[in-house]
């Protein structure tokens, strides 16, 4: 399966993506993790993009598209993957579609995790990552609202969207996601 996780910062994309990818035996690809690793390793990509992460701004589309295209070309992705944090703009979504349609490997489903903003902020503040400072959280939420939230409609129109309540315990959220995935690919 080829799955995309959508949803605002702090909703639990990473937490749930790890579990679902393991359950389905597919690769988990978090673009945020890839960028943080590149920054830690001080690679050219990391040096180029670190300031965007620290400020809570989105990394430019062309940089992200090259990163994802290269990663999806690797052999381990041929058995399926879960994209966590990509696409995040309409340009990224359209480019991903074109890429996958050309390869005859369209997306199977988009899981859109949702939660009220107060709970998102509580989770992020409690985690305390470098970009979990209040002013950066505000910017990330704003970027989400303006650039990423419109992707819900984009995927709904294509019949791929599965909205899932991100509230409650991680186990409860996982059960809901699993139920949605089971509807498209029964176990
Ligand atoms: P990214 O790393 O993707 O961050 P994000 O989307 O802002 O979301 P988070 O990873 O913070 O939250 P999450 O939804 O994964 O929740 P998590 O499971 O961690 O991106 C970081 C930056 O990279 C961006 O700002 C941008 O600069 C850049 N970037 C990445 N992709 C890009 C792209 N495609 N285009 C352009 N730029 C890009 O959970 C959060 C916390 O809550 C954790 O502490 C967790 O333990 C806790 N938690 C999870 N579930 C629950 C639960 N059910 N109950 C209680 N606590 C919970
Ligand atoms: Mg994450």
pLDDT, mean over the chain: 97
Burial of 87 (0-12, 13-18, 19+ CB in 10 A): buried
Q: Record the tokens describing residue 140, joined without a space.
A: 């990330």
Task: Give the ligand whose atoms come closest to the C-alpha of residue 51.
Answer: 1
Nearest to 114 by CA among 21, 9, 20, 23: 9
Hey, whose CA ends up nearest to atom 16 of ligand 1?
12
Q: Is 10 in the pocket of ligand 1 (CB under 6 A)?
A: yes
**Measured distance CA(135)–CA(175) in Å, rounded:** 33
Q: pLDDT of 100-149, one tens digit each?
A: 999 999 999 999 999 999 999 999 999 999 999 999 999 999 999 999 99
| pLDDT class of 186 with cuts at 50, 70, 90 | confident
> Does 8 sit in the ligand 1 pocket, CB within 6 Å?
no
pLDDT in tens, 6-28: 999 999 999 999 999 999 999 99
Segment holding 83, helix H or strand E: strand 81-84
**156 CA distance to ligand 2 middle (Å):** 22
> For 59-97, how does the pLDDT look when each residue is reduced to its tens digit (9 = 90+)?
999 999 999 999 999 999 999 999 999 999 999 999 999
Residue 187 binned pLDDT confidence (cut-offs 50, 70, 90): confident
Measured CA to CA, the distance from residue 166 to residue 7 in angstroms comes to: 9
Nearest atom of ligand 1 to the alpha carbon of 7: 14
Cβ of 64 below 6 Å from ligand 1 = yes
CA pair distance 126, 105, nearest whole angstrom: 38
pLDDT tens digit sequence for 140-162? 999 999 999 999 999 999 999 99
The closest residue, in CA terms, to atom 27 on ligand 1 is 53
């Amino acid at each position: 399966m080829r799955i995309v996780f959508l949803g605002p910062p702090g909703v639990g994309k990473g937490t749930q993506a790890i579990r679902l990818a393991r359950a389905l035996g597919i690769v988990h690809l978090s673009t945020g993790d890839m960028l943080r690793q590149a920054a830690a390793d001080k690679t050219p990509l990391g040096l180029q993009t670190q300031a965007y992460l620290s400020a809570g701004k989105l990394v430019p589309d062309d940089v992200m598209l090259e990163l994802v295209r290269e990663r999806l070309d690797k052999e381990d992705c041929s058995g399926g993957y879960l994209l966590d944090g990509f696409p995040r703009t309409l340009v990224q979504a359209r480019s991903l579609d074109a890429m996958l349609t050309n390869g005859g490997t369209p997306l199977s489903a988009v899981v859109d995790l949702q939660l009220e903003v107060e709970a998102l902020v509580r989770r992020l503040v409690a985690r305390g990552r470098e970009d979990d400072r209040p002013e950066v959280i505000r910017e990330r939420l704003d970027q989400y609202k303006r650039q990423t939230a419109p992707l819900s409609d984009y995927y709904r129109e294509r019949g791929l969207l599965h909205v899932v309540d991100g509230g409650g315990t991680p186990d409860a959220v996982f059960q809901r996601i699993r139920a949605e995935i089971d509807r498209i690919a029964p176990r």
